[in-house]
Amino acid sequence: MSDPDEVGLSHERKDANNREAKLNNWIIIKYYKEEAIAYICKIEGTRMAFKLWYVVRNSKIHSGILVKRK
């Protein structure tokens, strides 16, 4: 996670229909052996809290705002 290939911001799925939803989820993507692995983190106070990770199966993970791409 220290050298991500892509970083994006998104809101939680439960807030998808809320027009005032905050972009509070950091999506960190690392490509490894021809697979994209996504790490979902959230800022809590002054720390970044790891929420979950999974292998990306579709491009829907890219629905947020792209912050960085290598």
More confident residue, 58 or 47: 47
Cα separation, 43 vs 50, whole angstroms:
9
The model carries a pTM of 0.71
Cα separation, 57 vs 22, whole angstroms:
25
Residue 32: both structure tokens together: 């490894």
Instruction: Spell out the residues 6+ positions from residue 55 whose beta carbon is closer than 8 angstroms to its own.
Output: 35, 36, 37, 38
* pLDDT tens track for 9-33: 887 665 556 555 567 788 889 998 8
